[in-house]
Amino acid sequence: MLLSLPPELFVSILKYLPLSDISACVQTSKLLKDLVDQHESTIYRQATAHPSLNLIPHDQILFSEIIPLGLLSKRYLGDANDWKDLCRRACQMRSCWLGKGPSRIKDYYHGYSSYPNVHRIKVDEKRGFIITTHGQHIPPSQGRLVVSDIDSGQPIWGLDSHYVRQYAHCEYGEGFLIFDRSMDAKEVWRLVSVNPEVPDPEAFEIAPESRPDEVQLNAIHITSPGARLKFVPHALLHPPDNVPTRAFRFVYPTLMVAATTCLLLWDVRTGQLVERMNDIATQMPGGESTGNQTQTWAAAVANSSSRLGRICYVEVNNKYALVCGERTFKMFQRQPSQSETRVPSDVPRTARCVMAITRSQLQKRGRWIVNLGYVEPADLPPEFEGWDSKNEPKEMENGQESDGDASTEEESMVIDWEHDESDDDDMDDAPGNHLQIVHVGFDLMERRRRRVAPNDDHPHPRIQFWKNSGKAVVTHQITLTNTATSAHLHDDPIEHSHVSPCGQHLAILADTSRLLIIPYFERILDGRVKDYHDIMIDFQIGPLLQSIYLAYEENRIGVVTQMGLFIIHPTFPPPDDFETPPKLHVQRVALLNDPEILFHVSCLQMTPTSIWINWEVEPNRPSLFSSAWVKVETDEEIFEENLNTTAFLPPGRWPDNSIVLFATDIITHASHAIQM
């Protein structure tokens, strides 16, 4: 019947199908396949705009506009030359993120050897650069801010070590760079590029009170010869009344700065203070907020535990402002009517708290209890004495196993370990002498996976197997139950929180490796859900060890604990479905497993093709990691043995080597690794 339709109507119908369904249609009929082939440019362009891929905002985009519009980076596009290639690459990327494809770790030690002790990392994958701040705990104490090329790690532009304080926090988005200065001021710098492929931000007129001062205008900066970009002074933001500030977060175009009693929100484009929320420490949800929780909140107000305590982290989007205090997590509603109107700083506006979670309330478990198991058997090496042809990976034909039925959307990828000595660079992290950047990525190449020979008497079979097969990222087993059988007996301060990029889901990281996910959290605010515990996913990520960092980007949640770097891919049922359990896929960067080094990770960033963290390495070491491979295997044994324990590991020793930038990659080239 479909074949009897006019071709343009048939193509229009396919617009509503995900790529996997289009692939199924093609396999059912040669006539359907021929019809799809005839209109493949339109059909696959529509598929990239479908919510299942969501690579472009609508299906009227030209392929040649992808880079200029800043929709995808060159790293993501790789060798894709048309819409069909892009769909194939998106499927390969998805497989790699889910641990089904190859992955590698790349460090940037050589590029950062002159700038050790990486503290904060910001990545602009579309424009091809990385921003890092640095520090040094050994006198003379110095800071630094460096902008480096994303591929080579070589510096492009930077600010003098005497200008930027040590271990400065920085934020970045859409060409605006922000870092903190003494006296609680925040400096804003704007990107200016030479022949940019992605347009630079527009230079707006700055509010008089936020114009750069002479110090900022005369700052000494270092620009490499022939540099393709630089940053120029844009604004200097001063808190009103010189109120002391703590944490700040930038989500374009809003910079939110938290003080003890208020939140300050600026539009960085103009330097205007657009909103001020007062009394954040004492405000709790009012009578109009969350269903029958009114009495609960009223009682909490009278309790000292309802106060925020020390502010640990803040988050903001266009609707809400989130504050993580050591005693309470709070969500405040922004005022849309003020989003484009300057608010005088002397006009008091009481914050409207719409959600609050206290430490005592976290002793009740969420409805969906998730616990971490060890690595999936498919990601473990076979028994040496039992090795036979059945253990060989299957050959690939056209991106699929020759005897399998894998759909186009979940293409299987064979793994090949590509080890390039020139890539053996390390990266730094938290305070120390030598902390640099690490980058974890994926190789998408259709080759046979190298096996571990049965007579290879290696002292660390798992690590050697992952190294030889390109498995920097492995998949974990999990168990999920839908009944909270017991209370959480440990006092869990809330460390971090993030709203999903789509603005619908909330992720909270508690102190003891406990990740709390509240899908479609606005159901609580509008009364459809009376108690957030009824929809909360409560994920204990291994033993009760220190939580280090949380990120929520590209619909993936990244978590660093003292036991590992984890990637969680959640899938939620529709918001009106309260019975279907959520689905979680959990991966771990298994080769980065040193508890002492993990303890000092101070930043985690996720982009469409990579994960970026800072990691301690030994200078002039012969291998990729600061630890010998046997140490990595020992740490893996500790990880496995402690999965079901409640013992706490002591904090790691103070770093005394280089902390460099590491990344995990996913990029498909004919002969190169793919970067994730």
Q: 177-211 burial string, b = 16+ CB within 10 Å, else e?
A: bbbbbeebbbbbbbbebeeeebeebeebebbeebe
pLDDT tens readout for residues 586-619: 999 988 888 888 998 999 999 999 999 988 766 6
pLDDT tens readout for residues 528-560: 999 999 999 999 999 888 999 999 998 999 999
Mean pLDDT of 118-146: 86
In a domain, residue 632? The reply is: no
- Size (the chain), residues: 676
> Does residue 210 sit in helix, strand or coil?
helix
pLDDT tens readout for residues 151-160: 888 899 999 8
Cα–Cα separations (whole angstroms), residue 307 to 132, 258, 327, 377 = 34, 15, 6, 46
What gap in Å lies between CA 233 and CA 254, rounded to an integer? 18
In a domain, residue 114? The reply is: no
Torsion 612-613-617-623 (CA) sign: negative
pLDDT score at 322: 96
Nearest-10 Cα torsion for 135, 240, 273, 215: -50
> Does residue 19 sit in helix, strand or coil?
helix
Mean pLDDT of 548-577: 96
DSSP states along 558-580:
EEEETTEEEEEEEE---TT--SS
With 80 as the cut, is the pLDDT of residue 561 above it?
Answer: yes
Mean pLDDT of 437-453: 48
What gap in Å lies between CA 10 and CA 1, rounded to an integer? 10
pLDDT tens readout for residues 167-202: 999 999 999 999 998 778 999 999 999 989 999 999
pLDDT score at 664: 66
With 50 as the cut, is the pLDDT of residue 355 above it?
Answer: yes
With 70 as the cut, is the pLDDT of residue 114 above it?
Answer: no
Cβ atoms 414, 447 nearer than 8 A: yes
Cβ atoms 204, 234 nearer than 8 A: no
> Does residue 49 sit in helix, strand or coil?
helix
Q: How confident is the model at residue 447 (pLDDT cuts 50, 70, 90)?
A: very low
pLDDT score at 442: 57
Q: How confident is the model at residue 648 (pLDDT cuts 50, 70, 90)?
A: low
Q: Where are the alpha helices (DSSP H) in 521-648?
A: 522-525, 595-598, 629-641
Query: Could you list the residue range(s) of the whole structural domain that residue 13 is in?
Result: 2-69
With 80 as the cut, is the pLDDT of residue 266 above it?
Answer: yes
Cβ atoms 83, 44 nearer than 8 A: yes
pLDDT score at 465: 81
In a domain, residue 663? The reply is: no
pLDDT score at 414: 25
CB atoms within 10 A of CB 666: 33
pLDDT score at 675: 38
With 90 as the cut, is the pLDDT of residue 374 above it?
Answer: yes
Q: How confident is the model at residue 396 (pLDDT cuts 50, 70, 90)?
A: very low
Instruction: Give the β-pairing of 537-540 and 368-375.
Output: parallel
pLDDT tens readout for residues 479-521: 999 876 567 667 788 889 999 999 999 999 999 999 999 999 9
pLDDT score at 303: 47
% the chain with pLDDT above 90: 51
With 80 as the cut, is the pLDDT of residue 242 above it?
Answer: yes
In a domain, residue 535? The reply is: no
In a domain, residue 24? The reply is: yes
Mean pLDDT of 133-137: 81
In a domain, residue 35? The reply is: yes
Total structural domains within the chain: 1
Q: Which two tokens stand for residue 158?
A: 């930077």
| Non-local CB neighbours of 502 within 8 Å, separated by 6+ positions | 555
Q: Which of 55-69, 296-310, 468-482 has the lowest mean pLDDT?
A: 296-310
Instruction: Give the β-pairing of 537-540 and 547-553.
Output: unpaired
With 90 as the cut, is the pLDDT of residue 137 above it?
Answer: no
% the chain with pLDDT above 70: 74
pLDDT score at 402: 34
pLDDT score at 638: 83
| Comparison of pLDDT for 431 and 204, the residue scoring more | 204
With 90 as the cut, is the pLDDT of residue 104 above it?
Answer: no
Q: How confident is the model at residue 527 (pLDDT cuts 50, 70, 90)?
A: very high
Q: How confident is the model at residue 267 (pLDDT cuts 50, 70, 90)?
A: very high
Mean pLDDT of 288-314: 56
Mean pLDDT of 210-238: 93
Q: Which two tokens stand for residue 600?
A: 């000092």
pLDDT score at 25: 86
pLDDT score at 138: 63
With 70 as the cut, is the pLDDT of residue 146 above it?
Answer: yes
With 90 as the cut, is the pLDDT of residue 74 above it?
Answer: yes
With 90 as the cut, is the pLDDT of residue 141 above it?
Answer: no
Mean pLDDT of 326-349: 70
Helical (H) or strand (E) element with 23: helix 19-28
Q: Match 């058997």 to its residue by tokens.
A: 377
With 70 as the cut, is the pLDDT of residue 441 above it?
Answer: no
What mean pLDDT value characterizes the chain? 80
With 70 as the cut, is the pLDDT of residue 337 above it?
Answer: no
pLDDT score at 484: 63
With 50 as the cut, is the pLDDT of residue 672 above it?
Answer: no
> What's the predicted TM-score (pTM) here?
0.84
In a domain, residue 342? The reply is: no
| Comparison of pLDDT for 133 and 382, the residue scoring more | 133
In a domain, residue 448? The reply is: no
Among 292-306, 448-462, 482-496, 580-594, top mean pLDDT goes to 580-594
Q: Comparing C-alpha atoms, which of 322, 206, 312, 307 is closest to residue 263?
A: 322
With 70 as the cut, is the pLDDT of residue 646 above it?
Answer: no
| Non-local CB neighbours of 155 within 8 Å, separated by 6+ positions | 111, 114, 115, 146, 147, 148, 222, 224
Among 496-500, 588-592, 637-641, 664-668, top mean pLDDT goes to 496-500
